[in-house]
Amino acid sequence: MPKIFKKKDNKEAEEKASRARRVRFISRLRGMKDILPDEYKYWNLIIKKATELSRSYGFKRMDTPVLENLELYERSSGRSSDIVVKEMFSFIDKNGEKIALRPEATPGIIRSYIEHGMFNLPQPVKLFWLGPVFRHDKPQAGRFRQFSQFNLESIGDASPVADAELIAITYYFFRELQLEVMTQINSVGCASCRKEYLVKLENFYKERGRRTKLCNDCKKRLAKNPLRLLDCKEKQCQEIAADAPQIVDSLCEDCRNHFIKVLEYLDELNIPYNLNPTLVRGLDYYNRTVFEIWPSSAEATEGKPEEQSRQNALGGGGRYDGLVEYMGGRPTPACGFGIGIERVILKIKEKNIPLKDEEKGDLFLAHLGDPARRKIMVLFEELRKNGFKVRQAFTKDNLKSQLELANQAGVKYTLILGQKEIMDGTILIRDMESGIQEIVDYKKVVAEIEKRLGSPSKKI
């Protein structure tokens, strides 16, 4: 066989073998997101803001496991809630136990409060929680299957001040992130006033063939959990709900007074809110105050603002006075909220809000040649130890590319060390804005930098 054909055969065989070697790429799961380095500045900002606010208002950080007993959520969120029925990631583990990935934070926090005897601490116990939650929702813009929440829970306080304080914190959180929001607020009363209201509500839905116009889910809810008819996200159901009797008209005296007090505190603090009679929240455990934080309608970009805001709520919460007892603890009033971090980031990006670049450094260390590289590796550690924000590119050899990186890092000065400077016992200080370079004594470089940039704080 002529040589040339043999070569072609070899090539084909090689390509075939290479294709076989290339393994199938496994992409991320639907509804899950990677957080890439460029995105982290938003996370850092939100975590910082949440931490500062929580600390100011006396909330202490805690965490709970991602996996919990499935029953924890079935019992707390309610067996007929969307979270439990449709959205929970649950499975049977190797020991045959029914497990769930947490779909919300509150049940785990309450379990922890009871399990660790936090009722023995001075009340209220004010807890700050931040972490991922999982819901098998239909993925779309702003709706993921893994997302993160910032939660505050105030456990052991029945006073309306506690509700108002939480709503105020959410308002300040968004205001300080320069996002315009409108707090939607309602009261769903207590078990006794709700009983009377539910009769009125069921009668309303039975009137004049309203039932037939409801979505399939709402037809089922009418029998199981009629309150949920009010906050269905389907357009036809929302139109009917707008004419439904309002729960605030059925509140007992205690619940009415509690609600009025919450609103009075908010008025005093000048916190805007919208009384929203159809807001009930989707979980069984809420009583009295419920609230949601919606992007202000001016910020809705398409479709009906009201509809869009409802579906893109940035956060929500309320009072859950019966939950601790229902979960096996002592009767303990409590309230809390959860804010969806990814949605807040989407809003910040949408509004192009400028962010401080935390990655920015004070100084860059550049080198020319291996002996210089060794010396600046030592100098780098000395400057970093002294509290300067130093940046470097030890693995690069080319000075031009190092200076480009120094520019990207936004530093004020670059220190340049080459063969000549090593021989002379000097180093160059380059002012990155003017491009002017000065020669300084290598031994005095730290003092020289301190003179120009000031001494950095050494606090940890």
Structure token pair of residue 91? 């499975």
C-beta of 278 vs 402, nearer to ligand AMP: 278
Residue 82 CA to residue 33 CA, distance in Å, equals 23
Residue 420 CA to residue 397 CA, distance in Å, equals 16
For residue 327, the 8-state DSSP code is T
Structure token pair of residue 16? 């075939």
Strands 60-61 and 90-92: unpaired
First to last CA, the chain: 75
Q: Which residue is nearest to ligand AMP (CB)?
A: 340
C-beta of 20 vs 141, nearer to ligand AMP: 141
> Contact positions toward ligand AMP, by CB under 6 A?
104, 135, 137, 142-144, 147, 149, 313-316, 338, 340, 342-343
Residue 70 CA to residue 53 CA, distance in Å, equals 32
Beta strands (DSSP E) in 43-177 are 60-61, 67-69, 90-92, 98-101, 125-134, 146-155
Residue 312 CA to residue 310 CA, distance in Å, equals 6
CB of 338 to ligand AMP, least distance (A): 4
Angle, helices 445-453 vs 370-385, to 10°: value is: 50
CB of 431 to ligand AMP, least distance (A): 46
Stated as kind and residue range, the H or E segment containing 410 is none
**413 near 389, Cβ under 8 Å?**
no
C-beta of 135 vs 221, nearer to ligand AMP: 135
Q: Pick the closest to residue 288 from 136, 378, 159 (CA basis).
A: 159
CB of 149 to ligand AMP, least distance (A): 5
CB of 306 to ligand AMP, least distance (A): 16
The CB density around residue 84, as the number of other CB atoms within 10 Å, is 21
Structure token pair of residue 299? 């910020």
